[in-house]
Amino acid sequence: METKGTVNIDGMLIPIEDEKNLLELIRKADIELPTFCYHSHLSTYGACRLCISDIEGMGIQATCSITPSDGMVVKTNTAEVRQIRKVNLELLLANHDISCPSCVRSNNCKLQDLTRRLGVTKVRFKKTDKIAPIDNHSWSIIHDPNKCVLCGDCVRACKEMQSVGAIDFINRGANTIVGPAFNKSLKDVECIYCGQCVSVCPVGALVPKPETEQVWKAINDPKKYVVAQLAPAVRVALGEGFGLEAGTISTGQIVAALKRMGFDQVYDTSFAADLTVIEEATEFIQRKLKDENLPQFTSCCPSWVKFAEQYYPELLPNLSTCKSPQQMFGSVAREILPKLLNVNPEDLVIVSIMPCTAKKFEAKRDEFIHDGQAEVDHVLTTEGLGRMIHETGIQFNKLKPESFDLPLGFKTGAGVIFGNTGGVSEAVLRFAYEKITGETLIDTDLKMTRGLDGIRTVEMQLGKLKIKLGIAHTLSNARKVCEAIASGESDYDLIEIMACPGGCIAGGGQPVSFDPEFRQKRMQGLYNADKQLELHKSQDNPYVKELYKMTLGEVGGHKAHELLHTHYHGRKRINDQVITIRDTEHPKIEVYVCVGTNCYLRGAQELLQKMTKYVTENKLEDIFGFEGQEDMVDVKATFCFERCDRGPVLRVNDTIIEHATFEKAKALLDSEIQKIGALIRK
């Protein structure tokens, strides 16, 4: 190995390899310097000033921003450095709403941990901040600015990792806060609810929205029959809240705990994942054979779906119409369980346990609520379930493993690896290979799909069909893939997208981990779980076969479609924004032109200008024979009618035109004036 020299760290000579910065090298020397704002997968921010050390010749420096070089002499714990760290922490505490006992991040909070570690026992400074309102309006995430330490991790995660930028810094100096534009709620902006902000938040400023009380209420209601579905990634992370190593499989204990808590039945979302594999792979093979709507995108990740709806409406036909496993489970359960278990349909409560904050949002999508009945009633996150178990006093680690209930608790390994990036692809290939070639796949470990690279490509010959598969995780990578498709540079057939880095195992609802290897460990946990099962291919799941036979009929058939498939629509990124362009005394006709990004790109600006010009430069009322009428027409620019793939979109009173041209719009406006004018005259 080529030597890049060594750095003297507190007297130890540490060889430089390819560490990005001195902080990483110091951590290699097994010294855990404190940080708030450093994350190896985000850009260096250098703001918390806790990783400072004394470097010979350079003085006190933040080690996260220093490139190590040969011969450097670093002291990480001089009296001066220690004092600075303590005062810094004290300053943060003075500005923090110290409500630790009632904070959900208590015991898993960096601020708390460092206060203890650095021995800060007293805050000598005054409280200076006013109390800011808490945003708990979205389904997924609660934002409490009073706990924020302004490390900016969430801002960078949202911007760099997801390329969304729903939150940013607002104001300056001591007035700085983090939040969405115009201090709106996360509910009203382009937040995709992935919860990566939650995952990187060192304190309790961003936490998943709990639904624990609603779940307790259902459990405690003797009339209700409460069933749980457990997502794959939960089983390799929940244990972390009970002192277990990341990646430890604790499926049996979770089932046992749920049973003790009072769930009537406990099922496995992996069952629905097996179903998804079969439906989605079948859909893909059909599209591939017809060369239609390719590449096909996966649709199991709700953050990715919302992202596509907001930014790539033209690609929505390319998304698989399959519901996510959570929703497939919900539909199937509602369809079969009342009869199977002999319960009243309205008394059946379906609770899903997910590693994900966006699943909470997904469960509330209009498409998944039928006649007021949601397919899934409540979504608990992994950490939420962990807190519930803690509350009961159940000694999780001492529980005897129990088994899932049948039939919806039976799964193959294909449905388990869904929680990893590449897992859906691997599961689909295990199905498609046999389906297309008619041969049996012996070695089911398709390792070329695995790994942590942001965008991976897998090419596979399946009989006569050559298939090119793309696997991307994090939405900034998804964006790259989408842009490549838009520019025609991409020739993928199937693209798997997961919003979280590493897949669901690193979802925003998982316990927050400060272990730098937690992703790898949880991923390995799921692959091990696959190994431990006897079946590895979705098509081999006997209960899935049974379900098709008894209920769904043909794969991709009518009933399957009704229960397992859905549709998508363009979606606005920000609510309640209208620009008044012509504002008359008594408008009787309102013309709204959409200037959201997609319409904008399709020429909405020109349309708006022409319409405004037409309205302002002609006395339309006179032209149409309503002399003496005051100006009747208002013009407004609005952001999004959520018909983004059909833009530009324009509305005149209640009529909406898609693919609007000036001529069409003018004709509509003219007829409206005639209609209203005639009414007025009467």
Partner 1 sequence: MKTEPNKNFRQFQQVLEIIEKNNHDKSRLIPILQQVQEAYRYLPPQVLTYVATALNMPVAEVYGVATFYAHFSLEAKGKYIVKVCDGTACHVKGSSKLLDALYKKLKLSHQKHTTDDMMFTVEAVSCLGACGLAPVLVVNEKVYGEVNAKRCDDILDGILQEETSLKLAESEEISK
Partner 2 sequence: METIAKIDLRQVKETYNKTASRIRKRIVICAGTGCIANGALTVFKAMEKAIADAGLELFVELELNRHDHDAAYQITGSGCQGFCAQGPLVNILPDETMYVKVKPEDCAEIVERTILADEVIDRLMYVNPVTGEHNKGQLDIPFYARQNRLVLGECGHVDPENIREYIAHGGYFAAEKAFTKMNETEVCDNLVESGLRGRGGGGFPTGRKWHLTLKEVSEKKYVICNGDEGDPGAFMDRSLMEGNPHRVIEGMMIAARGIGADEAYVYVRLEYPLAVKRMRRAIEDAMDAGILGDDIFGSGHNLYIHVMEGAGAFVCGEETALMASIEGKRGMPMPKPPFPAQKGLFGKPTVINNVETLAAVPLIIRNGPSWFNQHGTAGSKGTKTFALTGHVANTGLIEVPFGTTLREIVYNIGGGVTNDDGKVTGEVFKAVQIGGPSGGCLTEEDLDMPLDYDNLIAKGAMIGSGGLVVMNNQSCMIQIARFFMNFTQSESCGKCVPCREGTKQMLALLDDIIEGKATQETFELLEEVGLVVKKASLCGLGKTAPSPVLSTIVKFKDEYFEHIHDKRCATNNCKALRSITIDPEKCIGCTACARKCPVNAISGEKKQLHFIDPEVCTKCGICYDVCKFDAVLGFN
- Residue 474 binds to partner 2 (criterion: CB under 8 A): no
Residue at 521: amino acid letter = K
Contact of 408 with 228, CB cutoff 8 Å: no
**Residue 46 contacts partner 2 per CB under 8 A:** yes
Q: Is 49 in the site for partner 2 (CB under 8 A)?
A: yes
Nearer to partner 2, 43 or 392 (CB): 43
Look at residue 272 and give the partner it binds from partner 2, partner 1, none, a contact being a CB closer than 5 to 8 Å depending on partner kind.
none
User: Which of 110, 359, 360, 636 is labelled catalytic?
Assistant: 359
10 Å Cβ neighbour count for 571?
19
17 is catalytic: no
Using the minimum distance from each CB to partner 1, give the nearer residue, 104 or 581: 581
d(CA 509, CA 330): 19
Q: How far is the CB of 583 from partner 1 (least distance, A)?
A: 5
Residues 6+ apart with CB under 8 A from 620: 614, 632, 633, 669, 670, 673
Our CB check for partner 1 shows the closer of 78 and 605 to be: 605
| Residue 52 interface partner, choices partner 1, partner 2, none, CB cut-off 5-8 Å depending on type | partner 2
Q: Could you tell me which of 496, 365, 350, 342 has the C-alpha nearest to residue 427? A: 496
Q: Please choose, from the candidates 630, 631, 626, the residue with its C-alpha nearest in 3D space to the C-alpha of residue 681.
A: 626
* Interface with partner 2 (CB under 8 A), residue from 171, 395, 403, 551: 171
Residues within the interface to partner 1 (CB under 8 A): 159, 164-172, 179-182, 189-190, 573-574, 577-585, 595-597, 600, 605, 609, 612, 616, 631, 635, 637, 639
Please confirm, yes or no, whether 359 is among the known catalytic residues: yes
User: What does 64 bind: partner 1, partner 2, none (CB cut-off 5 to 8 Å by kind)?
Assistant: partner 2
Q: Which of 279, 280, 375, 621 is catalytic?
A: 280
DSSP string, 287-341: HHHHT-SPSEEP---HHHHHHHHHH-GGGGGGB--BPPHHHHHHHHHHHHHHHHH
Residues in the chain: 682
- 5-16 CB burial, b ≥16 within 10 A, e <16: ebbebeeeebeb
d(Cα 49, Cα 52) in Å, to the nearest integer?
6
Q: How far apart are CA 394 and CA 604, in angstroms?
A: 59
Judged by CB under 8 A, does residue 66 bind partner 2? yes
Residue 579 contact partner, candidates partner 1, partner 2, none, CB within 5 to 8 A by sort of partner:
partner 1
Contact partner at residue 514 from partner 1, partner 2, none, CB < 5 to 8 Å by partner kind: none
Catalytic residue among 158, 300, 482, 500: 300
27 vs 159, which CB is nearer to partner 1? 159
Residue number, 310 or 320, with CB nearest to partner 1? 310
State the nearest-atom distance from the C-beta of 71 to partner 2, in Å.
17
**Beta strands in 159-264, from DSSP E residues, in sequence order:** 168-170, 177-179, 206-208, 225-230
Could you tell me if residue 5 is left (phi over 0), alpha (psi between -120 and 50 degrees) or otherwise beta?
left
What SS3 class is residue 531?
helix
Reported in sequence order, the residue ranges of 588-660 that DSSP labels E, i.e. its strands, are 589-594, 633-638, 650-652, 655-657
Q: How far is the CB of 203 from partner 1 (least distance, A)?
A: 21
Cβ atoms 183, 170 nearer than 8 A: yes
Active-site residue flag, 504: yes
- Nearer to partner 2 among residue 152 and residue 313 (C-beta): 152
Q: Enumerate residues 149-168 that contact partner 2 by CB under 8 A.
A: 149-150, 152
Active-site residue identified among 283, 314, 375, 672:
283
Provide the b/e sequence for 93-124 (b: ≥16 CB within 10 Å).
bebbbeebeebbbeebbbbbebbeebebeebe
Question: Which of partner 2, partner 1, none is residue 582 near (CB under 5 to 8 Å by kind)?
Answer: partner 1
CA atoms within 13 A on the CB side of 503: 32
Residues 537, 538, 542, CA angle at the centre, nearest 5°?
Answer: 105
Residue 581, binding choice from partner 1, partner 2, none, Cβ under 5 to 8 Å by partner class:
partner 1
Which residue in 64, 148, 356, 504 is the catalytic one? 504
Decide if 360 contacts 193 (C-beta within 8 A): yes
Q: Residue 600 in 3-state DSSP?
A: helix
Q: Of 180 and 409, which has the nearer Cβ to partner 1?
A: 180
Quick check: 77 binds partner 2 (CB under 8 A)? no
| Binding of residue 523 to partner 2 (CB under 8 A) | no
Least CB distance to partner 1 at residue 584 (A): 5
Token digits of residue 468:
């090119």
Can you tell me which of 130, 172, 549, 681 binds partner 2, judged by CB under 8 A?
172
Q: How far is the CB of 646 from partner 1 (least distance, A)?
A: 18
Question: What is the greatest pairwise CA distance in the chain?
Answer: 95
Say how many residues touch partner 2, by CB under 8 A.
38
Closer Cβ to partner 1, 579 or 680, answer by number: 579
Could you tell which of partner 1, partner 2, none binds residue 159, using a CB distance below 5 to 8 A set by kind?
Answer: partner 1
The one among 52, 258, 478, 482 contacting partner 2 by CB under 8 A? 52
The token pair at 619 is: 């006395």
Q: Which is nearer to partner 1, 413 or 596 (CB)?
A: 596
Tell me which stretch binds partner 2 (CB under 8 A): 11-19, 54-62, 523-531, 572-580: 54-62
For residue 94, state whether it binds partner 2 (rule: CB under 8 A): yes
Closest CA to 352 of 342, 343, 361, 341: 361
What's the min distance (Å) between Cβ of 50 and partner 2? 8
Residue 320 bears catalytic tag:
yes
Sequence-distant (≥ 6) Cβ neighbours of residue 130 within 8 angstroms: none
Residue positions annotated with a catalytic role? 280, 283, 300, 320, 359, 362, 367, 504
Q: What residues line the site for partner 2 (CB under 8 A)?
A: 44-50, 52, 59-60, 62, 64-67, 80, 83-84, 87-88, 91-92, 94-95, 124-126, 128, 149-150, 152, 169, 171-176
